[in-house]
C-alpha cells in the first residue's frame, strides 16, 4: 500500500491547523498591544491576559510546525501482515463487524484525516491505544474503551 498519500493528508491537515494557530496568535498579539487593553487601574489585567494568550497560541503554532517537520521526515516502511506494528504503520482494527483505521505516527495523536476514501485517526506511542498497538501483530487483540466497558478489537491488517 502507498502510504505517501496518508502522510500528505496528515501534513495538509496540520498546515490548516498551523494557519489557524498563527492567526489566533496574531489576533491575541494585536489585542495585547491595542490601546483598549491598556490597564485602567491597578487590578486591570486585560493586556497581560492577552499577552499570555498570545504566548500560548504562539507555542501551539510552534508545536504544530514541529509536527509538520516530523511527518515530512517520517519514513514509511512497508509492513506485511506478519510484521510487528511500529511508527509509520497503518493498522486496521475490527470489533463487532466494524473496522477502523489507525495510523501510528510520531506526533499529534487524535488528528483525523482522509486520503481518498480512507478515513483514519493518528495515534502516537504515548497514547493508551498507541502503547497497546506497538509491537503487535495481525490477530492480536487490543482493548478500546466502550460504553459498557473495554471493548476488544482485533488487528486484522497491518500496512
Contacts of 93-100 spanning 24+ positions with Cβ under 8 A = 93/142, 93/144, 93/153, 93/154, 93/155, 93/156, 94/153, 94/154, 94/156, 95/144, 95/151, 95/152, 95/153, 95/154, 96/151, 99/156, 100/153
What integer pLDDT is reported at residue 101 of this predicted model?
A: 97
pLDDT at position 42, please? 65
Torsion 137-138-141-145 (CA) sign:
positive
pTM summary value: 0.84
- Grid cell digits, residue 128: 493508551
pLDDT value of position 41? 64
Q: Which residues of the chain have pLDDT under 50?
A: none
pLDDT, residue 120, reads: 97
Other beta carbons within 10 Å of 75: 7
Of the candidates 56, 67, 54, 51, the one whose C-alpha atom is nearest the C-alpha of residue 11 is: 67
**Which positions ≥6 away from 112 have C-beta within 8 Å?**
13, 119, 120, 121, 122
What pLDDT was estimated at residue 110?
Answer: 93
Amino acid at each position: 500500500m502507498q502510504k505517501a498519500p496518508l502522510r500528505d493528508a496528515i501534513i495538509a491537515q496540520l498546515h490548516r491547523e498551523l494557519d489557524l494557530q498563527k492567526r489566533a496568535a496574531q489576533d491575541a498579539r494585536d489585542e495585547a498591544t491595542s490601546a483598549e487593553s491598556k490597564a485602567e487601574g491597578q487590578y486591570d489585567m486585560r493586556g497581560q491576559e492577552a499577552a499570555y494568550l498570545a504566548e500560548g497560541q504562539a507555542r501551539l503554532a510552534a508545536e504544530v510546525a514541529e509536527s509538520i517537520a516530523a511527518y515530512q521526515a517520517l519514513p514509511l516502511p512497508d509492513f506485511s501482515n506478519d510484521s510487528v506494528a511500529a511508527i509509520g504503520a497503518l493498522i486496521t482494527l475490527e470489533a463487532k463487524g466494524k473496522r477502523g483505521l489507525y495510523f501510528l505516527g510520531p506526533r499529534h495523536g487524535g488528528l483525523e484525516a482522509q486520503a481518498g476514501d480512507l478515513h483514519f485517526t493518528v495515534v502516537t506511542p504515548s497514547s493508551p491505544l498507541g502503547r497497546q498497538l506497538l509491537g503487535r501483530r495481525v490477530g492480536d487483540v487490543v482493548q478500546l474503551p466502550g460504553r459498557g466497558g473495554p471493548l476488544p478489537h482485533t488487528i486484522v491488517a497491518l500496512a
